[in-house]
Amino acid sequence: MTPTELHEIVEVRLHRVDQRYTPGRRAIVGLLARVGRPLSISDIAVQLPAVPRSSAYRHLVDLQAAGVVRRVAASDDFARFELAEDLTEHHHHLLCTLCGRVIDVTPTPDFERTVAVMVAQLAEQQGFHPTAHALDVQGHCASCVEADTGA
């Protein structure tokens, strides 16, 4: 997807929820697309000094409501934001509950096939037809483990 196509899709999704695609929202979506990993509000404030932090937060809430942005979090203290999966690609997250780090991991086709089989087993008993899944793993990142054992 080109940046132009992305912005067109985002504009349509915002219109559906009666929101306009303002320059501030456009800047945030462009940044998330360029960086390609989940960003915190602080990261966004550093990268986009022209967008006040409070507006950035409101924009993110509206972009989430429009289905453009997804919130990723190990806990409420460590919220990160990324583009919705249908605008990027399917992936999973490793979330550090100590420092808040979020690591994007792209599963292998083998991994996805295994997950699909397991999910089908769970869903079948309920007559449920799965269409997607999200798998976020919580734990301690390599730096936090190292800091802990080094202390």
**Residues engaged in binding Zn ion (CB under 5 A):** 96, 98-99, 101, 107, 141, 144
CB of 63 or CB of 96, closer to Zn ion: 96
Residue-wise burial string across 45-75, b where 16 or more C-beta atoms lie within 10 A, e elsewhere: eebbeebeeeebeebbebbeebbbbbebbbe
Minimum distance from residue 101 beta carbon to Zn ion (Å): 5
Distances (CA, A) of 106 to 2, 47, 85, 135: 21, 25, 12, 11
Minimum distance from residue 65 beta carbon to Zn ion (Å): 25
State whether residue 137 is helix, strand or coil: strand
Minimum distance from residue 132 beta carbon to Zn ion (Å): 8
Task: Give, to the nearest 10 degrees, the angle between helix 53-65 and helix 3-16.
Answer: 80
Minimum distance from residue 139 beta carbon to Zn ion (Å): 9
CB of 26 or CB of 91, closer to Zn ion: 91
CB of 52 or CB of 139, closer to Zn ion: 139
Enter the tokens of residue 93: 């997250």
Residues pairing with 81 in the sheet: 39, 71
